[in-house]
Amino acid sequence: MKKSMISASLLFLSIGLLAQWTIAPNMGLGFSTSQFDDGDKKFQDDYVTRVFAGMQVGYGFSKRFGIGLAAQYAGKGYKAKVVNSMPLEFKYDYIEVIPFAEYKPFPFMGVVLGPSIGFLRGFSVKLNNIPIKNIDPNLIEDKEIGAVAGLKFYWKDLFLNLTFNRSIQPVAEFTYTDENGNNAGTGKEFNQSFRLGVGYNFHLKEK
């Protein structure tokens, strides 16, 4: 009898836990650029539009607070014009892992915060719209450490998310050279992107 009561209690608990788990496909557009700490402002960078797509798993402790883990492909990069030179376009492809916490001040809105880890899968460079081949593979760091902050807006299980993602460690360190090949200073590069996406929460157990 005692064993049956324990089994029933565990079953009841597991059902309650399952009711709080969600899984959500998520995709959208990212408006990405890079920020440089070069004091001489040799780069005039502009945004490029890239896509992101992935999955999120969430666990709700209550109606207001939950945690989650997102795994997604994310394109990043920027356009730049070096002073007295031709335009450049850099594109980076990452697989990102983002553990996050979410607080809902209202039922229709959530505030999301968390770190991000990006694993570089490849990159390309164009000069004056012409691809540059044989780029040094060590030009960009193979890992990106960053932070994510944003808002989610809900309509039933459908949601719209607006997020800002920025690397907190440089993804590249470089040396400027002038037209004569002389050292003209050093700089560091940081990715940043504004993202607009949509997703849908599937409940692993209906409430």
By the 10 Å C-beta count (0-12 exposed, 13-18 middle, 19+ buried), 171 is classed as: buried
Question: What local confidence, expressed as pLDDT, does residue 120 receive?
Answer: 96
Pick the CATH number of 2-203 from 3.60.15.10, 2.40.160.20, 2.60.40.3950, 2.60.40.10: 2.40.160.20
Q: CB under 8 Å to 134, separation ≥6 — which residues?
A: none
CA distance 32 to 75: 8
Question: What local confidence, expressed as pLDDT, does residue 10 receive?
Answer: 41
Question: What local confidence, expressed as pLDDT, does residue 44 receive?
Answer: 57
Instruction: Report in angstroms the alpha-carbon separations of 129 from 79, 90, 115, 126, 132.
Output: 11, 11, 34, 5, 9
Q: How high is the mean pLDDT in each 10-residue block of the chain (207 residues)?
A: 46 46 96 77 75 96 94 94 73 97 96 97 88 83 96 96 95 74 76 96 76
Q: CB under 8 Å to 153, separation ≥6 — which residues?
A: 108, 109, 159, 160, 161, 162
The β-bridge partners of 80 are: 45, 88
Question: What local confidence, expressed as pLDDT, does residue 205 receive?
Answer: 67
Is 94 within 8 Å of 120 (Cβ atoms)? Answer: yes
